[in-house]
Chain A
């Protein structure tokens, strides 16, 4: 309701796409402080939680506008009050800044470790969720999501501007789009808007931005996501995470146990993971090993050197060790806490111990 009061009087007469342009061009400030709206739930740590980030403190986000925060090496999480109770899918922490993003094309920001919040973007009518958010510094960031949803800010989120990256499409779709573009530019834009793949994850490492997404999307950008080069791949399932191991070696994971490796920008190779559980997150551990987690409580420890040592397709000898979380909850991601790992799962925060 508060949100509507803030909208200009003509807001409801303009179409959705026009609104986006309004947002982009007039830079209507959506940010304002709002009182607590999220229900303070005793079971917040057992709710559906979807992402975590750490920078001198841990922040975990999830359904119903749930954001919990804890000191490093502490198990005591406190629920923060947010102005909107939408499902939050991603969090990025930078110093005292916390940005959270999620459904209803929502982005909220706190400049003070979660004490106060502002809504930077909230577009329920768009019917699209953000799936990841990433800040390069405390002013420049991007948020990505479903159907190629891509927004950028250069002022700490005071204004978010839409971008469309047709280069994220696979070659067949690009060919098709170029055909209709020749005939009708507006139909092309409309079609592009619905044909772009979900961008599930963006990762910033070694000055490059990597994207993992739907229909076999693995792409890299040398210029902070302004232009993209999509890797060619003979796979059209979804990727959910991407992890550069070092300057030359990359790992991507995704649907139904998909694990792909790449060396020196060469072709991606499928590695047999011996699981059909969808894999959601891959982390590089301090000891140089990889930790992959996914649905159905899947936990895979990967010995990197064995993984890249050759074309070993036998999962008992390719460096993978599969275990399962006892509760079998879907694990969205993990974070290190007090020398052990905490799983962020569909059933809340759980110690990453397999049965």
Chain B
């Protein structure tokens, strides 16, 4: 190892100008490509496409539309829609939405859609027509009255018109492929158009516009995510102040920050080179990379500074720091990289992107902060003034380190381990209450007070519809909707599901056919039943168009749509379990009830994928960390000393999630892995010094004291700096950034404490015979 180190040291430090030149060129190149980086959001990235539910979803998406829809509620602030201005606005909104690029024009529905029709039963049979007649004149009160009557006959109150007649709805399905460019739809551009062309144009003191749907949500997230730049700036400033406070040198402050920013530039540049965009949900990753970079940079300036104070020349000090830190720093960053890479096993596009983004970002830090930084530092002139600042402080800090080092005294160590075990037990019990999925109504990425969630609440409040629905797809033989047996099975299944707690209402071709059959019998509800007679059944079904979304062209596929009270994980699980239980009663070789489509179907699949990924992810992350520790320390005891505190902290973080009511979702799942990846750094730095001393036969306490003197301040400082930087996210406009900020702050601080309090205590117990006496035997002075 040291041979390679020496070789690399010579190679790099003998060609300092060349190295800097290469880094400069790469940075300029990647800066250019980073400037091309785009925010990139897509619906499908957020779903586990290989999950069986999603296979069903993809298979039938053509016929029934996807889960990617947009709901625009146009509301009259006076509380009554029947006026000229409202209907004119509604028509404009309908037309405007129709022409927004990416909207499936065949599926734009509102009062003004030709498919919105009413039927009524008269003596001679049926009578009907469009709800808004072709000759509709919005200035005529009679015309408005007619529309009001037609709305009631069409039975669309609660769906297309709000229960209190204060709003009307325009809904649309979105395409996945941009029809103009043939490429994937730019969801964020579409969200911008919705905001500008609908709300911007038509919201005024008489009309309010409320837009919900995945595209709008992710657009709002992207807008909120732009605040990250501000947090980034704040974090840089805070970090700069703290680094300066730590090293008392402007130049030493500037260089680690510069190198960390270079790392971010490289990362963003590489993303573009590899053809990725930055998803709003993973916009925090560059920030994380910066923070990790700073933490390793601080170790570097710490080592260089200490060498200089000890009397070395700056060049030699930099060379020495490079040689000493390359291995622990490299191992730490490598374990971060591998830890993040393990997220690739999760079959959800956005988590894979996060894995690539984060692992790449951490990998480049190896170059920028372990190679470029010492090379740059070797040019810095640290005069006597600098040395004077630190002289005399050694004693004071030694007293501090001596106090901390008592953690590795036998009795203290035992009590620390016992307390840790107790915390672990409590945390474990609490973490078992971890809920999968979104725990709150509305979009979990956004705050409850956000416009998007307020719009969601308004729409779910004023209408009977909800965006929380799951479709069970009935697959059967062609023309099966004319079979009484099949329709009757669907009808019975639907009724069973309607009785499941959490299901608010249901609809299927069977339930609509029953109502139509009553219609054919003078509207007599005593005939609201499925006719056994095939011709009569055909007659009833023929009035239901395929555009209803209740059957496909040859009626071999018919969804049963279940509208849910909410999308909490336990509700979804209960409904999905009920589907699985009841369908066995009705299924045969020609008839199957497949899960699932609709927004909640997607959530069900995502929840299952996330839940299934949780354990493997932890196993892989810890597996990677353990393997790398074993390789670098070649000691099981050292590895255990690093990994045990890390595991306790990750369990405590899960407990914190349950206390804060943060569910395990696509966006929170990676946090634990990220926290473990970063948390391991502290332990590795401390133990790399300790294990050398221990191998020489020193006592745990003296080895630990040495490690503290050498690395302690940097570890302490890094933990606090990272935590302060990340804690600013609590003020983010995005709920998920806030959640992540809290969790990461917790993990940074507690992992740091774990490394300097629990690690030595465990080490003390593992090297139980290494009492102070050893030092005397070995003649080592601690």
Contact = CB atoms under 8 A, between A and B. Distances in A.
Contact of A240 (B122, B123, B496, B524): B524
Interface in A305-355: 328, 330, 332, 346
A219 interface: no
B197 to A, nearest CB: 36
Given A89-B526, A238-B522, A255 B123 contact: yes
A39 B528 contact: no
A130 to B, nearest CB: 10
A255 B522 CA distance: 7
Contacts of B661: none
B121 A278 contact: yes
A236 interface: yes
A48 B525 contact: yes
Contact of A237 (B123, B496, B498, B528): B123
A152 interface: no
Contacts of B349: none
A283 interface: no
B526 A256 contact: no
A238 to B, nearest CB: 5
Interface in A234-250: 236-238, 240
| Chain B, interface residues (CB within 8 Å), range | 20 to 34
Given A87-B526, A256-B121, 16 more contacts: A39-B499, A41-B499, A47-B495, A85-B492, A87-B528, A200-B526, A236-B123, A237-B123, A238-B524, A240-B524, A255-B121, A256-B123, A280-B524, A332-B526, A346-B525, A346-B528
A104 interface: yes
Interface stretch (B185-193, B529-537, B667-675, B704-712): B529-537
A330 B525 CA distance: 8
Interface in A75-89: 85, 87, 89
B527 interface: yes
Interface in B482-528: 492, 495-496, 498-499, 501, 522-528
Interface residues of A, number: 34
A278 B524 contact: yes
Contact of B532 (A127, A280, A332): A127
Contacts of B523: 278, 295, 330
B528 A48 contact: yes
Given A43-B499, A240-B524, A255-B522, A87 B529 contact: yes
A50 B499 contact: no
Interface in A21-55: 39, 41-43, 47-48, 50
A93 interface: no
Contacts of B526: 50, 87, 89, 129, 131, 200, 332
Interface string A174-205: 00000000000000000000000000100000
A103 interface: yes
Contact of A278 (B499, B522, B532): B522
Contacts of A231: none
Contacts of A346: 525, 528
A172 to B, nearest CB: 16
Given A255-B522, A278-B523, A39 B495 contact: yes
A132 to B, nearest CB: 9
Interface centre among B492, B528, B529 (most CB of A within 10 A): B529
A89 B525 CA distance: 9
A99 B523 CA distance: 25
**Residue among B496, B523, B525 with the highest chain A CB neighbour number at 10 A:** B525
Nearest to A329: B525
The interface residues of chain A, by DSSP majority, are classed as loop
Query: Which 6 pairs from chain A and chain B are nearest by CB?
Result: A89-B526, A87-B529, A237-B123, A330-B525, A41-B499, A127-B533
A240 to B, nearest CB: 7
Interface string A128-145: 010100000000000000
Contacts of A47: 495
Interface string A152-188: 0000000000000000000000000000000000000
Interface in B94-125: 120-123
7 contacts: A39-B495, A41-B495, A124-B532, A129-B529, A280-B524, A295-B525, A346-B525
B532 A104 contact: yes
Nearest to B533: A127
Interface of B: 120-123, 152, 492, 495-496, 498-499, 501, 522-529, 531-533
Contacts of B528: 48, 63, 87, 346
A63 B121 contact: no
Contact of B496 (A39, A89, A124, A278): A39
A64 interface: yes
Contacts of B524: 200, 238, 240, 278, 280
Given A255-B522, A278-B523, A63 B533 contact: no
A64 B495 contact: yes
Contact of B531 (A127, A256, A332): A127
Contacts of B532: 104, 124, 127
Contacts of A256: 121-123
A315 to B, nearest CB: 17
B298 to A, nearest CB: 62
Interface in A208-263: 236-238, 240, 255-256
A159 B524 CA distance: 29
A50 B527 contact: no
B525 A332 contact: yes
A347 B443 CA distance: 32
A50 B525 contact: yes
Contacts of B492: 39, 64, 85
Contacts of B121: 255-256, 278
Interface string A92-118: 000000000001100000000000000
B529 A103 contact: yes
A47 B496 CA distance: 12
A157 B529 CA distance: 25
Contacts of B495: 39, 41, 47, 64
Contacts of A64: 492, 495
A87 B531 CA distance: 11
A39 B499 CA distance: 10
Contacts of A295: 523, 525
A278 to B, nearest CB: 5
A235 B383 CA distance: 113
A42 B499 contact: yes
B503 to A, nearest CB: 9
A133 to B, nearest CB: 12
Nearest to B149: A276
A275 B5 CA distance: 95
A170 B109 CA distance: 46
A63 B529 contact: yes
A8 B653 CA distance: 71
Contacts of A328: 152
A295 B153 CA distance: 11
A280 B528 CA distance: 14
Which residue of B121, B526, B528 has the most chain A CB atoms within 10 A of its CB atom? B526
A101 B121 CA distance: 26
A87 B501 CA distance: 24
Contact of B498 (A43, A236, A276): A43
A41 B496 CA distance: 8
A139 to B, nearest CB: 26
Contacts of B522: 238, 255, 278
Contacts of B525: 48, 50, 280, 295, 330, 332, 346
B562 to A, nearest CB: 13
Contacts of B499: 39, 41-43
Nearest to B120: A276
Contacts of A89: 526
Nearest to A40: B499
Contacts of A50: 525-526
Interface in A265-313: 276, 278, 280, 295-296
Contacts of B527: 129
A337 to B, nearest CB: 21
